[in-house]
Structures are given as C-alpha cells and as structure tokens.
Amino acid sequence: MGGNQGAPGAQGAGGFGDWSFIIMMVVIFGIFYFLMIRPQQKKQKELK
C-alpha cells in the first residue's frame, strides 16, 4: 500500500504523458471559463 504506483499518466509511453497533462489543463481552463462566462451572460440578460 502507499505510493503513487497507480497514478494515471505517471508513466506514459513516449510523450503521451505530456499530452494528457495539456489536455487536462485545457479541460480545466474550459470549465473555469464556462463557470465565469455563464453568470455574466445571465446578468446581461436580466439587464436587458
């Protein structure tokens, strides 16, 4: 028990580990972008 032996992407084949990290960052950025833009759109609709 213990350790990070089962961590996904820890030992990727070739540069796949780098790509999975980049994709994960893009997904997280997209989620934050959506969460920040959505309330602004609702506020603009209410003002109109």
pLDDT tens per residue across all 48 residues of the chain: 555 555 555 555 556 778 899 999 999 999 998 898 887 888 888 887
Residue 24: per-residue pLDDT: 96
Residue 26: per-residue pLDDT: 96
Residue 22: per-residue pLDDT: 94
Nearest Cα residue to 8 out of 26, 20, 19, 22: 20
* Domain containing residue 31: 23-47
**5 located within any domain:** no
**39 located within any domain:** yes
**42 located within any domain:** yes
The amino acid at 41: Q
CA atoms within 13 Å, Cβ hemisphere of 16 = 7
**33 located within any domain:** yes
**35 located within any domain:** yes
> What is the number of structural domains in the chain?
1
Residue 42: per-residue pLDDT: 82
